[in-house]
Amino acid sequence: MALVSGMDVISECTARRQVAGAFNTTNLETTMGIIDAVERVGVPTFIQVAPTNVALSGYEYIYDMVARRLASTSVPVALHLDHGKSLEAVEAALAARFTSIMIDDSEASYEQNVATSTAARAMTPAHIALEAELGSIGGKEDDIGPEHAATTDPAQVPGFVEAVGVDMLAVSVGNVHGVAPHARIDFDLLADVRDASSVPLVVHGGSGLPSEQLGRLAEFGVVKVNVASDLRNAMIRTFGEAWTANNDEASLIRVSKEAVVSIRDVVERRIRVLNPAA
Ligand code: 13P
């Protein structure tokens, strides 16, 4: 089927009481592994890419690759811009027909974050989902991270959501980007944020969180959970192991197919942990 809007993934997941995984792609193998897993589990999903990873190919290239692979799939999937740090990135993703957008000016002051996110809302048609971040998620992705991480202040949530008109809110409640095995959600804070928010929540940093915590997020108004590092590590590990086993390995296609399977397995496990009944 064709790519669906992020709004459709949100409403479908809300109706089914499911949590959408949001898996970052970079290249063909990652995209194939993600969609192979989605087909096995049948849960609506976001495939996403941040500008740091678009640098390898381009927004149109990512769109074509994802849309082509999805043509033979019946599960609803949206293509999402992850951590759009500028209005230029939002413009480029919309021009390439992405169906869901994140604007991220969360490191700026509250007022500046509202101003940037409001400008992104004005650019983003209502049927395309808009995510913005309040509080600043710590850790690093692709060697990039905030200078100052800060948790989400529940008192700021209603005003931010209303001023911007966001469709989903990314929160900083103990979650950390990147390889962060000791990251833990503060569920008391998450509950306060949920109670203050009229829109569903997004948790970034899915790779570092334990399964036991991921499995509880649906109860806390979370509709989207981002996972990137685990997939990247699965791909790099597959190639590393192949080279370690045989320094003369030259079958790129065989190792690439193995990488697709290892990414598929990581994604399938994550979707099932997020949705134990799926
Ligand atoms: P991880 O790399 O920790 O899974 O985080 C991904 C993410 O939040 C992308 O926005």
116 closest CA partner among 101, 130, 103, 126: 103
Ligand 1 atom at shortest distance from the alpha carbon of 203: 8
Q: What is the DSSP letter of 206?
A: G
The CATH classification number of 6-231+263-274 equals: 3.20.20.70
Pocket of ligand 1, candidates 201, 204, 263: which has the most ligand atoms within 8 Å of its Cβ, to mutate?
204
Q: Quick: pLDDT tens for 127-147.
A: 999 999 999 999 987 778 888
pLDDT at position 144: 81
User: Torsion-angle region of residue 15: left (phi > 0), alpha (psi -120 to 50) or beta?
Assistant: alpha
Percentage of the chain lying above the pLDDT 70 cut: 100
pLDDT at 148: 81
Atom number in ligand 1 closest to CA 180: 3
Widest CA span in the chain: 59
- What percent of the chain stands above pLDDT 90? 94
Average pLDDT over residues 174-178: 96
The whole-number pLDDT of residue 145 equals 84
pTM of the model: 0.97
At 143 the pLDDT is 76
Q: Which two tokens stand for residue 160?
A: 């931010």
Atom 5, ligand 1: residue with shortest CA distance: 205
Q: What is the pLDDT of residues 208-251, one digit of tens each?
A: 999 999 999 999 999 999 999 999 999 999 999 999 999 999 99
Index of the ligand 1 atom closest to the CA of residue 232: 2
CB 139 within 8 A of CB 178: yes
Residue 3 C-alpha to ligand 1 middle, in angstroms? 22
Q: Is the pLDDT of residue 173 over 90?
A: yes
Q: What's the token pair of residue 115?
A: 């101003």
Taking the CA atoms of 212, 130, 229 and 187 in sequence, report the sign of the dihedral they define: negative
Mutate which of 137, 201, 207 for ligand 1? The one with the most ligand atoms within 8 Å of its CB, which is 207
Token pair, residue 259, equals 């990488």
Alpha carbon distances (Å) from 240 to 180, 248, 256: 21, 13, 12
Cβ-based neighbours of 162, under 8 Å, separated by 6 or more: 198
Quick one: pLDDT at residue 60? 98
**Predicted pLDDT of residue 275:** 97
User: Does residue 70 carry a pLDDT above 80?
Assistant: yes
Kindly report, residue by residue over 250-273, the tens digit of the pLDDT: 999 999 999 999 999 999 999 999
**pLDDT tens sequence across 24-59:** 999 999 999 999 999 999 999 999 999 999 999 999
Is 124 in a helix, a strand, or coil? Answer: coil
pLDDT tens-digit profile of 144-159? Answer: 888 888 999 999 999 9
Model confidence pLDDT, tens digit, residues 85-126: 999 999 999 999 999 999 999 999 999 999 999 999 999 999
Residue 117: predicted pLDDT: 98
pLDDT recorded at residue 147:
80
Query: For this structure, is 82 an active site residue?
Result: yes
Q: What pLDDT is stored for residue 10 in this prediction?
A: 98
Look at ligand 1, atom 9, and give the residue with the nearest C-alpha.
226
CA distances from 123 to 21, 128, 148, 235 (A): 25, 10, 28, 35
Residue whose pair of structure tokens reads 């609803």 in the numeric block = 76
Catalytic, out of 8, 36, 82, 105? 82
